[in-house]
């Protein structure tokens, strides 16, 4: 299992997450897509860490996981609040932030 | 030592002003007046003690000086805040505090029940403070501080009744006209500082006498620039226009500021810088300006119907005589006329105020007459002042004016004397006109009410002094009068020979007889026959105001209107508003990018990231 395999898998995962983020409109799914992208990055970091025999990449992974957990908590809370307010989770209809 | 602490003199009225200004909001009128009068009274007592101490010293050592602190010490110019009390300053201090004290006392009665009672006394105390700073300063810059301060107080007090538009206008006029003179003063200070590197009076005199040679033109320019300042403050032609209008202020203010003290500051300044006046062409200029003013204003005084305006023009005229004296090189004669004039003109204004008060605000001479029966005390003191003003032997005005007329004759010849003497006759003429208010039959409908003791007492004191103030000018016909000896300055030129002495005596006797004859004729003319007709040309002061209006005020107003109507709304507002609408339009344009759709933002985010990566890669030479 070479570096190329790991990085390739990370890129594919990231592309899937990004495409899902662009194309889907359900807010919960968008949150899932963000998680997929974050974990794709984690995967690449782990690959490089192993390839370079260093620990820095793994340290970053832990940081990202922490941030992702916090983000998921806040994001879910926002989603609950949004649903209570608007009775919908369709992002194409939630467009109040405009000039 | 008392002589070390001459700063107490200005500090006392300043404390009075602070106490009344900061704490006096809830005080009764009585307390406010007590603080104001008391502070000036204490200062007067201090000044008298200093005078006694000064007189006990030998003539050469009569100078008290103290340096308080360094003010400016950077660069080429060093300015220290210092006070200097010599015999010259002492004369001014005595006039300011003595007349000032009596006027404060008078004001306590005169302004009773006035809504701005506290404001009035704060301004009046502040004025005394600034006037003392002006007089005691030992350098030009500190003098200038006092100079501007008294100008400010004058402005505030002329416009005391600020709900009256004419009072506000008069205050503004006084301020603006003074500004012209002050500009000359400032230039004079700067030029003295550049030429000599100091502004201290003592250093300047020393440098002028023994220092490196300075061109006479520079000295003359400094002297003339400072004289322009003196012309503004002392209301000399053509900068006299503010003083008659300044009569809009309360009458005690006219007495204190616009007759006895502030308007004489120019004369004092000229004596302070006396060594500079020795430069060629300076003295004749001063003499001519003084003579023109004295003559011009005495004609104008004759044309006025308003009792205060007569006195105002008379003040302008008498200050003109002081400048004539200075222009003849007779510092002591000029200062002596300042002293006597301060006393009798202060008296005349205060008495006029009492008359106006008694007649419920009537100021028109045409409606006054026979007041001697209704207001005996005021009338008698007023007439005593008038006799002194006209120069009747042996009152104070006679002694001081006689020295000036003779000085003019000696230095500038017969023609000059004829003009100056003509002015003196005009003085007698308009004095006779004022007599008509007190003699003859009653003209005022209604009942004049007599003034209280607080008003009569200062009048009586000043009347006694205006009869006696000629004594320091004795013995007559010599250069060595008491006053000149005290001042340490000559009252007349070098001892005249016997023939000239005889001529002087003969001239004086003739002058006196002529003045008495003119005064008697004028009293008869104006009292019996009521020839109060006022030629419009005299009443308007030969139309100088209209001339200035046409020459300066209207072009300035037109200019201001042009800027207000064209430049400001079109150009300046246009630029400011244009910037505003420009950014608004740009904002509207870019607002279209904000759709509110989350995926649009996400796409632009990722696209931006790709663009950044591409640029970095290009720069790194990867492709």
Q: What is the pLDDT of residues B252-294, one digit of tens each?
A: 888 888 888 888 998 999 988 888 888 778 888 888 999 999 8
CB contact under 8 A, B594 and A92: no
Measured CA to CA, the distance from residue B349 to residue B253 in angstroms comes to: 9
Residue B536: pLDDT over 50: yes
| For range B77-86, the mean pLDDT | 85
- Residue B112's pLDDT is what? 83
pTM over 0.90: no
Residue B459: pLDDT over 60: yes
Assess B589–A contact: CB distance below 8 Å, yes or no.
no
3-state helix vs strand vs coil in chain A, percent to 5: 80, 0, 20
| For range B230-234, the mean pLDDT | 89
Q: Which two tokens stand for residue B491?
A: 């009252």
Measured CA to CA, the distance from residue B297 to residue B252 in angstroms comes to: 22
Radius of gyration of chain B measured on its C-alpha atoms? 30
Q: Mind telling me how many Å the CA of A63 is from chain B's nearest CA?
A: 22
| For range B1-10, the mean pLDDT | 77
pLDDT (tens digit per residue) in B538-584: 777 777 778 888 888 888 899 999 998 888 888 888 899 999 999 99
CB contact under 8 A, B599 and A21: yes
Residue B171: pLDDT over 80: yes
The per-residue pLDDT of chain A, averaged, comes to 90
A22 → closest Cβ in B590, B595, B599? B599
Q: Mind telling me how many Å the CA of A99 is from chain B's nearest CA?
A: 5
Measured CA to CA, the distance from residue B338 to residue B260 in angstroms comes to: 8
The per-residue pLDDT of chain B, averaged, comes to 84
Confidence of residue B126 (pLDDT cuts 50, 70, 90): very high
Beta bridge partners of A90: A26
Residue whose C-alpha is closest to residue B344's, from B384, B316, B375: B384
For chain A, how far is it from start to end, CA to CA, in angstroms?
50
Residue A99: pLDDT over 70: no
> Max CA-CA distance within chain A?
50
Q: Mind telling me how many Å the CA of B606 is from chain A's nearest CA?
A: 9
Return phi, psi of residue B111, to 5°: -90, 10
Assess B585–A contact: CB distance below 8 Å, yes or no.
no
Question: Which residues of chain A neighbour B599 with C-beta distances below 8 Å?
Answer: 21-23, 25, 91-92
Confidence of residue B1 (pLDDT cuts 50, 70, 90): low
Measured CA to CA, the distance from residue B202 to residue B189 in angstroms comes to: 15
ipTM summary value: 0.81
The percentage of residues in chain B with a pLDDT greater than 70, rounded to a whole number, is 96
Residue B531: pLDDT over 70: no
| For range B104-114, the mean pLDDT | 85
- Residue A74's pLDDT is what? 95
Q: Mind telling me how many Å the CA of B119 is from chain A's nearest CA?
A: 58
Least confident of B336-345, B489-498, B532-541: B489-498
- Residue A35's pLDDT is what? 93
Least confident of B19-28, B148-157, B356-365, B492-501: B492-501
B413: left (phi over 0), alpha (psi -120 to 50) or beta: left
Q: Which residue in B has a C-alpha nearest to residue A24's C-alpha?
A: B599
Least confident of B377-391, B429-443, B600-614: B429-443
For strands B79-85 and B64-72, give the pairing: antiparallel
Residues 6 or more apart whose CB falls under 8 angstroms from that of B439 comprise B369, B370, B372, B523, B527
B594 → closest Cβ in A25, A92, A98? A98
pLDDT (tens digit per residue) in A65-87: 999 999 999 999 999 998 999 88
- Residue B491's pLDDT is what? 47
**DSSP annotation of B259:** I
Measured CA to CA, the distance from residue B236 to residue B234 in angstroms comes to: 6
Which tops the pLDDT comparison, B439 or B76? B439
- Residue A77's pLDDT is what? 95
B597 → closest Cβ in A21, A23, A92? A92
Q: Which residue in A has a C-alpha nearest to residue B592's C-alpha?
A: A99
């Amino acid at each position: 299992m070479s570096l190329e395999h790991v990085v390739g898998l990370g890129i594919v995962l990231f592309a899937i997450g990004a495409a899902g983020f662009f194309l889907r409109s359900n807010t919960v799914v968008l949150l899932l897509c963000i998680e997929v992208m974050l974990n794709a990055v984690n995967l690449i970091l782990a690959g490089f860490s192993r390839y370079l025999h260093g620990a820095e990449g793994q340290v970053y992974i832990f940081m990202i996981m922490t941030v992702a957990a916090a983000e998921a908590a806040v994001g879910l809370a926002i989603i609950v609040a949004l649903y209570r307010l608007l009775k919908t989770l369709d992002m194409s209809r939630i467009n109040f932030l405009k000039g | 030592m008392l002589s070390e602490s001459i700063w107490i003199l200005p500090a006392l009225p300043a404390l009075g002003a602070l106490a009344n200004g900061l704490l006096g909001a809830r005080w009764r009128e009585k307390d406010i007046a007590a603080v104001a009068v008391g502070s000036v009274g204490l200062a007067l007592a201090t000044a008298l003690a200093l005078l006694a101490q000064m007189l006990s010293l030998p003539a050469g050592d009569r100078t008290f000086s103290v340096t308080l602190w360094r003010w400016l010490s950077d660069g080429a110019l060093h300015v220290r805040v210092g006070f200097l009390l010599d015999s010259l300053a002492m004369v001014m201090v005595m006039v300011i505090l003595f007349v000032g004290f009596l006027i404060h006392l008078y004001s306590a009665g005169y302004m009773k029940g006035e809504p701005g009672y506290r404001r009035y006394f704060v301004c009046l105390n502040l004025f005394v403070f600034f006037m003392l700073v002006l007089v005691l300063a030992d350098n030009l810059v500190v003098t200038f501080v006092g100079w501007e301060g008294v100008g400010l107080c004058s402005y505030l007090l002329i416009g005391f009744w600020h709900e009256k538009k004419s009072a506000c206008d008069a205050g503004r006029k006084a301020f603006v006209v003074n500004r012209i003179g002050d500009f000359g003063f400032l230039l004079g200070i700067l030029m003295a500082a550049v030429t000599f590197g100091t502004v201290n009076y003592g250093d300047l005199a020393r440098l002028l006498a023994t220092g490196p040679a300075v061109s006479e033109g520079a000295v003359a320019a400094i002297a003339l620039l400072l004289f322009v300042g003196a012309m503004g403050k002392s209301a000399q032609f053509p900068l006299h226009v503010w003083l008659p209008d300044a009569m809009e202020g309360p009458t005690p203010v006219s007495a204190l500021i616009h007759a006895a003290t502030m308007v004489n500051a120019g004369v004092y300044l000229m004596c302070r810088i006396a060594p500079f006046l020795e430069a060629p062409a300076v003295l004749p200029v001063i003499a001519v300006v003084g003579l023109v003013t004295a003559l011009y204003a005495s004609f104008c005084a004759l044309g006025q119907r308003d009792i205060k305006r007569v006195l105002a023009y008379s003040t302008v005229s008498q200050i003109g005589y002081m400048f004539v004296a200075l222009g003849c090189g007779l510092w002591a004669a000029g200062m002596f006329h300042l002293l006597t004039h301060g006393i009798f003109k202060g008296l005349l204004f205060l008495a006029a105020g009492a008359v106006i008060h008694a007649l419920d605000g009537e100021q028109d001479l045409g409606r006054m007459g026979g007041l001697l029966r209704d207001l005996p005390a005021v009338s008698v003191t007023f007439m005593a002042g008038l006799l002194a003003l006209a120069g009747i032997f042996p009152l104070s005005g006679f002694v001081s004016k006689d020295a000036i007329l003779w000085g003019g004759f000696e230095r500038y010849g017969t023609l000059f004397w004829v003009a100056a003497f003509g002015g003196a006759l005009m003085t007698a003429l308009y004095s006779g006109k004022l007599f008509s208010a007190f003699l003859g039959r009653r003209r005022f409908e209604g009942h004049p009410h007599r003034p209280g003791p607080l008003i009569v007492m200062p009048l009586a004191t000043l009347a006694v002094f205006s009869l006696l103030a000629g004594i320091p000018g004795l013995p007559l016909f010599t250069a060595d009068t008491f006053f000149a000896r005290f001042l340490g300055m000559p009252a007349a030129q070098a001892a005249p020979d016997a023939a000239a002495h005889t001529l002087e005596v003969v001239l004086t006797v003739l002058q006196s007889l002529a003045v008495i004859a003119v005064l008697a004729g004028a009293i008869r003319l104006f009292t019996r026959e009521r020839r109060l007709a006022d030629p419009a040309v005299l009443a308007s002061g030969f139309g100088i105001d209209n001339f200035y209006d046409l020459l300066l005020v209207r072009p300035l107003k037109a200019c201001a209107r042009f800027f207000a109507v064209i430049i400001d709304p079109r150009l300046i507002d246009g630029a400011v508003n244009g910037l505003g609408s420009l950014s608004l339009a740009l904002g509207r344009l870019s607002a279209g990018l904000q759709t509110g759709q989350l995926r649009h933002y996400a796409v632009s985010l990722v696209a931006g990231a790709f663009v950044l990566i591409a640029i970095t890669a290009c720069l790194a030479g990867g492709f």
